[in-house]
Structure 1
């Protein structure tokens, strides 16, 4: 595959102040950091997003309790920062206690690994509606492919909750009070399938390392995979990069939202999130280090009645805006939907026409052929039986494994 790199500038940087504690591999853990001695803002490194999630809206409110999110790094580095989002909130989000640690099991934290985050030197932060906050850096190494806990005490009662639904990862809500520093999971008596308020984990990594943001819908969120096992196809992709020599590694930020569309939708409780066109800047282009956008989205548009021309026009806008931001964009072919609730012969014709555009137009900087990786050779309109999660639409663990193996690793660097 021949790809053209259109970006001339350096990674997006975020200015932060202050210091906090260290997040590091436990003795004898054997985890690698993915960042050499030269990594760091003053040693030739750059800030990259090692984990990300797209903002949506969770129903209800939260009042004087602690949420404990579990997230998994892709590349390693140092000086961890966490980005907390109130992007979809309708009143200020106030927290006075945020801790990061290494997950042991469930809601419990590896003893001795928990560290307190600060924001401009303060342990408390108030985030206005529509805004975000980035923590001060935690000095020390952050391992690759490691599950971290981010625990946040909510002061007072929230309004609309900014969250990422259908995370395919349990998070936990506590009994009343501040339990952010607790290493035990005893106070965390309620499981949730959403990530609350956190939308990026940022590290200072080797200067060669940047981030691929996977922009998509439930297939990128990997609905249909086994929860708490990190078998999403972007996780498989991250694991492939982790095995490469450091100069060839890339981080992965998963920006899928279940039910999302390229062309339509707004963020509200029970929604499928704002459209890809509406959320591109907030969810992707403002995240540090994003070099490549890998788009796999459009099936929900087809289900909603979008024509081939309308969907291609949407892709062209994504392409133009990503290029204008100095990044590159790779198109993912739409996976089979035969035997699903989406399928009709007319809608299948749109999917095939859209995939032809993605493969042959050369308007994207490259192609990841997820359709070819997952289709049934005996009936290309359908997922291969071994990859079908049961609804004819969402690939299972094996299907996500095949999808994660589909992109060419060097081509996603867009050189």
Structure 2
């Protein structure tokens, strides 16, 4: 029964995106690309396949507009697979956006693409696509198999004016914007004269993988988004988790989508719509999702939206119910310490403690990831262990993020409903 629901979810994405599943002719590949893309063996043989997410970033409204320019988004995948597809979102757009060219290749350095790897994307067989305001599209699959943990350059040429760009405001990764014109097919990076720390329009990368491989969604705020981790180094805790999963045998591997939004809240919109409002789009509609790890609430506490633990607990219960209704497992992750932050008070700490105790002991989640326990200072449990504090007393250091990624019980991700 659960498999049937998941197949329906994958089908609904394709239907909403109005995508015709068509294989496109692959470009000739240089020897440099052979380890990443194998067009001679486009599918694992003898195994039923389904689509899973290998990279994701939650869509949000940005303060940006573009006109007749090309953006080259740099993204780092998790699990490997065949038939790579790119999802583009105009969820917060103020008008339709026209992509006149779209390519994906392997990043060489900066804005440059490894020679021979830049491959044209199509949408229902067309090399251009118009995405209405509020909508998203999914590209046709590219033939061939992509290895795990590839750094991709996703290049999108915007024809005309874009209106408000839908994107992700905290990438912790450098991407690039060109001077005027369509530079999406170019392998060198000379035309990409502006650097950005956001992702524009691309909200997920999807591959086909054996049905033993699923998708994990990390859902949260800036601590999931990786704020104050080393830019470009992929040291967010979901990145650490992705690496651990790839170290295991193939049947235990899972793609990891990072759906954190810096400043996001549970109870109210703010930086991004509330986690309750985006739960369907950022979790349930993603392909192959088996498990979501929820860590959110500290911004509600600091911002005054949560005046008691009961308010957060009621919202958690709603998210649990919605996940379970779709046959999806949901793990609760405790909120990390924040004593030393200027807004810290004993009253706010009491709210965090109450919410964390519910996560730990209620047994309403399908499992618990105790981020609080692994990052706190035993000598002062309301504070980060100094090694794990980035310096602002709210966000972890690289070492803190590594400890969080290592704290996830991989067996708990295999929860079945």
Q: Note if contact 1:260-1:276 (Cα within 8 Å) is conserved in structure 2.
A: yes
Cα shift readout 1:246-300 (whole Å, capped 9, x = no counterpart): 01111100000000001111xxxxx510000000111111111111110010000
Give the number of the structure whose residues are more often helix, by fraction: 2
SS of the residue corresponding to residue 62 of structure 1 reads: strand
CA apart distance, 1:9: 3.6
Once the two structures are TM-superposed, the CA of residue 201 in structure 1 deviates from its matched residue by: 0.3
**How far off its partner does 1:21 sit?**
4.5
Give the corresponding residue for 1:96.
Answer: 100
Distance 1:33 1:405 in 2: 30
Provide the C-alpha distance between the structure 2 equivalents of 1:236 and 1:23, rounded to a whole number of angstroms: 33
Any conservation in 1 of the 2:28–2:116 contact (CA below 8 Å)?
A: no
Matched, 1:160 2:159: no
2: distance between equivalents of 1:402 and 1:207?
30
Structure 2 Cα separation of the partners of residues 226 and 25 of structure 1: 32
* Unaligned residue ranges in structure 2 (runs of 5+): 15-19
Aligned residue for 1:71, secondary structure, equals strand
Correspondences of 1:11-410 after superposition (within 5 Å):
11=7, 12-14=9-11, 15=14, 16-22=20-26, 27=31, 39=43, 43-265=47-269, 271-305=270-304, 306=306, 307-410=308-411
Q: When the two structures are superposed, what TM-score results if normalisation uses the length of structure 2?
A: 0.93
Q: For the structure 1 residues 394 and 111, does the alpha-carbon distance in structure 2 shift closer, same or farther, using more than 3 Å as the test? A: same
How far 1:303 moved relative to its partner?
Answer: 1.0
Give me the whole-angstrom Cα distance separating, in 2, the residues matched to 1:25 and 1:324: 44
The answer on whether the counterparts of 1:81 and 1:136 sit within 8 Å (CA) in structure 2 is: yes
Q: How much does 1:314 deviate? A: 0.7
Question: Are 1:164 and 1:195, in contact at CA under 8 Å, matched by a contact in 2?
Answer: yes
Does the CA-based 8 Å contact 1:23-1:139 persist in structure 2?
Answer: no
- Which runs of no fewer than 5 residues in structure 1 stay unpaired? 266-270
1:166 shift after superposition: 0.9
- Worse-matched range after superposition: 339-348 or 363-372: 339-348
User: Please, what is the CA RMSD of the aligned residues?
Assistant: 2.2
Question: Residue by residue, what CA displacement relative to the aligned partner does 1:374-399 show, whole Å, maximum 9, x if unpaired?
Answer: 11111110111001111000001111
Q: Could you say if the C-alpha distance between residues 7 and 355 of structure 1 is closer, same or farther in structure 2, counting changes exceeding 3 Å?
A: farther
Q: Distance in 1 between matches of 2:43 and 2:211?
A: 7
Aligned to 1:268: none
Equivalent residues, number:
405
After TM superposition, the structure 1 stretch with the greater mean CA deviation from structure 2, 115-124 or 40-49, is: 40-49
Give the strand-richer structure, 1 or 2: 2
CA-to-partner distance for each residue in 1:327-348, whole Å, 9 max, x for gaps?
Answer: 1100000001110134111101
Three-state SS of the structure 2 residue aligned to 1:158 is strand
The CA distance in 2 between the partners of 1:193 and 1:317, in whole Å, is 34
Distance across 2 between alignment mates of 1:6 and 1:130: 29
Q: Distance in 1 between matches of 2:97 and 2:33?
A: 36
Q: CA deviation at 1:20?
A: 2.1
